[in-house]
Amino acid sequence: MSQGSNFVDYVKICCRSGKGGAGSAHLHRDIRTSTGGPDGGDGGRGGHIILRGNSQFWTMLHLKYRKHIIAPDGLPGSSGTSTGKSGKDEILDVPLGTIAKDAETGEVLFEVTKDGETKILTAGGRGGLGNWHFKTPTLQTPRFAQPGEAGKEEWVVLELKVLADVGLVGFPNAGKSTLLSVVSAAKPEIADYPFTTLVPNLGIVSYRDSKSFVMADIPGIIEGASKGKGLGYRFLRHIERNSVLLFMVPADTQRTIKEEYLILKAELEDYNPELMQKPHVLAITKSDMLDEELVTEMKKELPANLPAIFISSVAQKNIVELKDMLWNAINAEA
């Protein structure tokens, strides 16, 4: 299977938590006692459905075919004020950056961003109280107990937003996949036609002194992506989580470099204005075809106050310098 078929960043599942066990209405009896007081124990809690962050996961493929997640019920209380056993929690491991939403309203419930972090997605019903709780001076032998609370059944949506240090932003064929394949061990599909990259590719970029950072190649933006055109929202949401955005414009663009950068920037701003707060770096790709004179001329037309560099992934031109710029931007942001 290719990474494309393995990468799942959206699932809709039906969660049913466990029902709480009923409290016991038992009255104490033994050889010496024929009219003892209440000693019914509480019912056990129904099983929760819990999300747990797991840094080893990068996709929700394992949940794609599990449409119904059901946690067991709690057991009823028993004599001797014994509490019933709680239903076993159903724990779902999810990649870091997973957001849980109510499927009906779209409301964000919470997000999981740390390894080992656990959040209750659907809470189990509480166990009922045993009859000993209801004993009073005027009611010495209550013969009733509380039933267990019902579990919940709800549809939830789990969405993944890739957590990376650098997000690559550019139109199709800007050279994003090629750069990722050169600076990391990632093996993205590369071809000379739009939309080769249909899912985010992640790569670990090794830097000086055994340092490293994570780079995400996100499917190419086309004008109108923020309105849902092309691959639209499906990939734009992945950009929200990157701490630095690397805009990539090919040297052979039909527009000017500044025009293309401004179009990309406008798409992001239209989708989420907060993306404008992130550090931006501009890389002019495929620049091995340019001579020094042309580079000097093109530099004059670049956007002001934006760190920019001319690179060539194939010719390894300025790749180390680009890593330096990105490392500085990541750490300035931190």
Q: How far apart are CA 180 and CA 203, in angstroms?
A: 7
**Lowest mean pLDDT across 83-97, 110-124, 278-292:** 278-292
The residue type found at 107 is E
Tens digit of each residue's pLDDT (9 = 90 or more) over 306-330: 888 888 888 888 888 988 888 888 8
Domains of the chain from N-terminus onward: 1-160 (2.70.210.12), 166-333 (3.40.50.300)
pLDDT of residue 191: 41
pTM for the full model?
A: 0.66
Tens digit of each residue's pLDDT (9 = 90 or more) over 11-57: 999 999 999 999 999 998 887 877 788 999 999 999 999 999 998 88
Whether 194 shows a pLDDT value over 60: the answer reads no
Instruction: Supply the DSSP string of 51-96, one letter for each residue.
Output: EEE-TT----HHHHT--EEEPPPPPPPBTTTBPPPPPPPEEEEE-T
Residue 16: what are its φ and ψ, rounded to 5°? -125, 110
Percentage of the chain lying above the pLDDT 90 cut: 37
Residue 216: what are its φ and ψ, rounded to 5°? -120, 125
Q: How far apart are CA 105 and CA 284, in angstroms?
A: 42
